[in-house]
Amino acid sequence: MLENVKQKKTKKSDVQQTIEALRCELSELENVIKERKLPVIITFDGWSCSGKGSQIAKLIKYLDPRFFRVVSFRAPSASEKRKPWMTRYWEALPKKGELLFLDRSWYRDTVNAYMLGEIDKHQCKQRIADIKTFERQLTDDGCLIIKFFLHITKSEQEERLEKLADSSITSWRVEKSDSFNHDHYDKYLKHYDKMISETNTANAVWHIIPANDKTTAQLTVLDTVVNAIKCACAAAEKNAPYYEKSELPLSDNIPQKFKTESTQKLAEIDMDKSIDDETYEKQLKKWQDKLFELQNICYQKKIPVIVAYEGWDAGGKGGNIKRLASALDPRGYEVHPIAAPEPSELARHYLWRFWTRLENDGHFTIFDRTWYGRVMVEPIEKITPQKRADMAYQEINEFEKQLSDWGAVIVKFWINIDKDEQYRRFKERENTPSKRWKITDEDWRNREKWDEYEKAVDRMIEKTSTEFAPWTVIEGNDKKYARIKALKTIAKSISKKLEEQAK
Amino acid sequence: MLENVKQKKTKKSDVQQTIEALRCELSELENVIKERKLPVIITFDGWSCSGKGSQIAKLIKYLDPRFFRVVSFRAPSASEKRKPWMTRYWEALPKKGELLFLDRSWYRDTVNAYMLGEIDKHQCKQRIADIKTFERQLTDDGCLIIKFFLHITKSEQEERLEKLADSSITSWRVEKSDSFNHDHYDKYLKHYDKMISETNTANAVWHIIPANDKTTAQLTVLDTVVNAIKCACAAAEKNAPYYEKSELPLSDNIPQKFKTESTQKLAEIDMDKSIDDETYEKQLKKWQDKLFELQNICYQKKIPVIVAYEGWDAGGKGGNIKRLASALDPRGYEVHPIAAPEPSELARHYLWRFWTRLENDGHFTIFDRTWYGRVMVEPIEKITPQKRADMAYQEINEFEKQLSDWGAVIVKFWINIDKDEQYRRFKERENTPSKRWKITDEDWRNREKWDEYEKAVDRMIEKTSTEFAPWTVIEGNDKKYARIKALKTIAKSISKKLEEQAK
């Protein structure tokens, strides 16, 4: 594929006017992007010394720097390596109405990691799947992704490397990886080809730019960007998804199907389960000690543990989390209470605020309410249209699958109480001064929608109980029973992971 | 000082009930903290193996983990070293109404850095000054800081280290720095003494805890925390600052006086300055090229550059920033537009959102509006009481001094236009579709308060024009003149820094 790219020469003076006109158009489009709240990601990958940085610099020359960011990804740092590999790309996501320019993206990282032997063939394949999922999730959310591959020939690259190294001002810019890229040009070529053909999907097509000649590259990039933004804005106006045309063969981007486990409906749960005080104290100590021991092992083996708490208002999440947290070394966990999103969170994909809250591997990340708000409160309160919210079952399964691939133990709790018990607890909160902050008018309003919520919860559990991230419904009328069951479930899930690893 | 600490032995069964009662009290106090929106920082420093982690674990046992965080500071990472040294403590600040527990704080870091030869005597002194400033800024903002030093004797430390190393489960926990701490016990003792006596200030006193016996330590810590929170809540209710009593001699915490440079009032500025188009184009190229060159040098020498833009609405900040940004390699700068704070920002000290936005050294951090909102819009719009806002001149000088000590070039612009010119630009914006998003009713409202703002700006410039962070008023009626002056000022400031470094 790349080998067939025709390098062209363009005389600068011939196209100066065209370039100027396109730039003005781009500058105007920036206003449209802002109005339409369109998030735009423009990635630059390609050979070392193919001019990614300078192409970006030319492209942004007329843009308002308050509304775009340029992020330059180098080899992941030690601390970045302790998160799922896609975390740093999620973190960089632009707000709606803003542009993000990437100097190297998830593509270069993947090919490089493979070439340097940091990941094997299987992992490389996995990463390609992650990328496709990532890009689809973003474009489904209305994001425009424009992907450039700057192609230069081997001889051109050689010339540029020599020139850089010769100058005392620029020699520091030549990195080891640049020479490596050149020394293994043919092998890289093969892998770039493969990567491009596998990820040239209708929602995020590739643009291969002949970059031996800088003016040709500049013109092609500029023209592509202007055209893509115009088309995407037009599509957005019609509320239609935007698919770009491509001269290269398209690869599909069909969502992976996840097998779900059979689950019970909430109405079928036996809500009479309870535990006596003496047994509670004994079991509490037993499972807390066990968890402390397991935390130590997870820390050493760098196994991340994700615990997600959902449940009815006044279901006892707080007290439950307290028993979990107090079992653990406090340096090794973080509790994230999830409230209504802040403006900066609303301006991005709804999973953004969860991706950016993950602790390092070896640590526990505990969520008090989670990403499942997307399929419960959001459609019920009309914050998100039902149709869009329905897409979240798949997206969430994909998210959790990526956490699982990272090596995480994932435990998800629905703490269930019945309607009478909730009424009792609401009343108790109202009558206890120190608990009054816990009960608001909103809680009473939510209660009125009990049936609607119950249906949503049943559906959520049915659609997102996977082998790698199963739901555990906890019978919560007896708080003590609920706490023991939660601790035990977490401990057993971790032990299971350790056994699997030992195999 | 530490040598005179009496180690005590407490029988657990004797105090079990007291401990239980105190813990319940602490748990109740958590609600008061939430109601009063009191931020609480509790730091644990002390000898290696003095039991900091386990004391924190015991303390939080009854607290709701959704409202506190435990942060464990180890040696700063490579990326942390590229920011001002206090950045990571600022980043960790709790929200109002929440608790932060620190396992090692700025104290341990400072003594360790000195003992390891990473900083010299002078830098150590500077850090102590920074710490006092930091703690004063926080307590002035209503934060409660409780500082613990856990003291164990040399023989006790030896015993604990041996025990840790002997067990296969815990041996991985013994770090090199722990043995180093023990091997240099006497020298550390001297420095801890000095550090404690220098930073035992009325707004943040030290509590030295005899920690040979764990129960004694637990009881003393718990009692101190409960007492301090109670007193701080009582003081907060009376709207009075909280000063703790101390058995140790108090050190003062008098703010450093900054010499300010003589400045002009806005009314005295000659607003007729302008530039012709031809000169503009030439000068623009000249200074943009110069800045690109200087950026390269700053990157190599790891010199941070902070550019702060303030000015009248429609003063031309956007266009000015655009000319600066387009001169630079986009991988080496970040533009931060500063809008109204988000909830998570409002819940913290007003400088928090600026500390956490600083780029690495070697990079440009460009602010479109800044921390100076504190002394302009906030008192004028009654968001902050005038009295509290007035404290910001000193606080901001301190902030900028710390940036300067970090090595930063600091350039601050007030882009000045006159009232007629603003009217003309507002009208133009209203009449140009692509610029209409730039003008809002709020702009017109602000304009009505022109005189009030002018007074505030004059005062701000007078009080915060320091040698290390001087203001430059830019005559902005002619946008082109303004742009050239800005670029030139930045370039000259950087060149000056380079000359100073070369000396």
How far apart CA B409 and CA B285 sit, in angstroms, is 22
Min Cα–Cα distance to chain B from A25, Å: 12
Cβ-defined contact of B330 to A101 (cutoff 8 Å): yes
User: Can you say whether residue B367 is alpha, beta or left, with left for phi > 0 and alpha for psi between -120 and 50 degrees?
Assistant: beta
* Angle (deg, nearest 10), helices A106-115 and A185-198: 130
Nearest to A90 by CA among A41, A142, A160, A159: A41
Nearest CA in chain A to B435: A31
CA A354 to chain centre: 8
Q: Where are the beta strands (DSSP E) in B172-300?
A: 206-210
Nearest CA in chain B to A32: B434
CB-defined contacts A:B, below 8 A = 90
Contacts with B366 from chain A: Cβ below 8 Å: 65
How far apart CA B72 and CA B55 sit, in angstroms, is 13
How far apart CA B289 and CA A102 sit, in angstroms, is 24
Cβ-defined contact of A60 to B28 (cutoff 8 Å): no
Instruction: Per-residue pLDDT tens, chain B, 503 aa: give them.
Output: 899 999 999 999 999 999 999 999 999 999 999 999 999 999 999 999 999 988 998 999 889 999 999 999 988 988 899 999 999 999 999 999 999 999 999 999 999 999 999 999 999 999 999 999 999 999 999 999 999 999 999 999 999 999 988 876 667 667 788 899 999 999 999 999 999 999 999 999 999 999 999 999 999 999 999 999 999 999 988 888 888 889 899 999 999 999 999 999 999 999 999 999 999 999 999 999 999 999 999 999 999 999 999 999 999 999 999 999 999 988 899 999 999 999 999 999 999 999 999 999 999 999 999 999 999 999 999 999 999 999 999 999 999 999 999 999 999 999 999 999 999 999 999 998 878 888 889 999 999 999 999 999 999 999 999 999 999 999 999 999 999 999 999 999 999 999 999 98
Domains of chain A plus CATH, in order, are 2-237 (3.40.50.300), 266-502 (3.40.50.300)
Q: Is A289 an interface residue toward B (CB < 8 Å)? A: no
Q: Is B249 an interface residue toward A (CB < 8 Å)? A: no
Cβ-defined contact of B57 to A321 (cutoff 8 Å): no
Min Cα–Cα distance to chain A from B247, Å: 31
Q: Is B78 an interface residue toward A (CB < 8 Å)? A: yes
Cβ-defined contact of A53 to B329 (cutoff 8 Å): yes
Contacts with A77 from chain B: Cβ below 8 Å: 78-79
How far apart CA B377 and CA B393 sit, in angstroms, is 14
Nearest to B220 by CA among B480, B46, B18: B18
Cβ-defined contact of B437 to A31 (cutoff 8 Å): yes
pTM of the model: 0.91
B172: nearest CB among A70, A300, A318: A300
- First-last CA distance in chain A: 42
DSSP state of B416: E
Kindly state the tokens that stand for B433: 């579709």
Cβ-defined contact of A57 to B329 (cutoff 8 Å): yes
Neighbour count for residue B77 (Cβ, 10 Å): 12
DSSP state of A242: -
Contacts with A65 from chain B: Cβ below 8 Å: 321-322, 325-326, 335, 366
Which pLDDT score, from 0 to 100, does residue A1 have? 86
> Rg of chain A over CA atoms, in angstroms?
26
Check the CA dihedral B95-B96-B97-B98 and report its sign: positive
A364 phi, psi to nearest 5 deg: -95, 130
B342: nearest CB among A61, A169, A342: A342
Contacts with A329 from chain B: Cβ below 8 Å: 53, 57
B247 phi, psi to nearest 5 deg: -80, -20
How far apart CA B478 and CA B378 sit, in angstroms, is 29
Nearest CA in chain B to A433: B31
Q: Is B117 an interface residue toward A (CB < 8 Å)? A: no
Kindly state the tokens that stand for A412: 């998800």
Q: Is B437 an interface residue toward A (CB < 8 Å)? A: yes
Nearest CA in chain B to A438: B31
Cβ-defined contact of B331 to A366 (cutoff 8 Å): no
B331: nearest CB among A31, A103, A331: A103
Kindly state the tokens that stand for B222: 């718990």
Nearest CA in chain A to B25: A434
CA B69 to chain centre: 19
Nearest CA in chain B to A296: B169
Q: Where are the beta strands (DSSP E) in B53-131?
A: 68-72, 99-103
B65: nearest CB among A57, A335, A434: A335
Mutant choice from B434, B438, B440, B483 vs A, greatest count of A C-beta within 10 A: B434
Contacts with B35 from chain A: Cβ below 8 Å: 437
Nearest to A193 by CA among A253, A248, A122, A265: A248
CA B160 to chain centre: 36
Contacts with A169 from chain B: Cβ below 8 Å: 296
Q: Is A254 an interface residue toward B (CB < 8 Å)? A: no
Q: Is B321 an interface residue toward A (CB < 8 Å)? A: yes
Which pLDDT score, from 0 to 100, does residue B17 have? 96
Min Cα–Cα distance to chain A from B325, Å: 7
Min Cα–Cα distance to chain A from B293, Å: 9
Tell me the CB-side half-sphere exposure of residue A403, using CA atoms within 13 A.
30
Q: Specify the 3-state DSSP secondary structure of A360.
A: coil
Nearest CA in chain B to A324: B65
How far apart CA A315 and CA A417 sit, in angstroms, is 6
How far apart CA A235 and CA B216 sit, in angstroms, is 70
Nearest CA in chain A to B73: A331
Residues in chain A with pLDDT values less than 70: 169-170, 172-173
Q: Specify the 3-state DSSP secondary structure of A71.
A: strand
Mutant choice from B33, B37, B64 vs A, greatest count of A C-beta within 10 A: B64
Min Cα–Cα distance to chain A from B249, Å: 33
Min Cα–Cα distance to chain B from A183, Å: 26
* C-alpha distances out from residue A131 to A98, A196, A204, Å: 21, 12, 11
Mutant choice from B329, B356, B440 vs A, greatest count of A C-beta within 10 A: B329
B53: nearest CB among A35, A326, A331: A331
Reported ipTM: the value is 0.85
How far apart CA A408 and CA A302 sit, in angstroms, is 9
Strand pairing class (A206-210; A144-151): parallel
Q: Is A76 an interface residue toward B (CB < 8 Å)? A: no
Q: Is A56 an interface residue toward B (CB < 8 Å)? A: yes
Which pLDDT score, from 0 to 100, does residue A437 have? 80
Cβ-defined contact of B61 to A318 (cutoff 8 Å): no
Cβ-defined contact of B334 to A169 (cutoff 8 Å): no
Kindly state the tokens that stand for A184: 């293994």
Q: Is A340 an interface residue toward B (CB < 8 Å)? A: no
How far apart CA A271 and CA A481 sit, in angstroms, is 11
Which pLDDT score, from 0 to 100, does residue A169 have? 66
User: Can you say whether residue B407 is alpha, beta or left, with left for phi > 0 and alpha for psi between -120 and 50 degrees?
Assistant: left
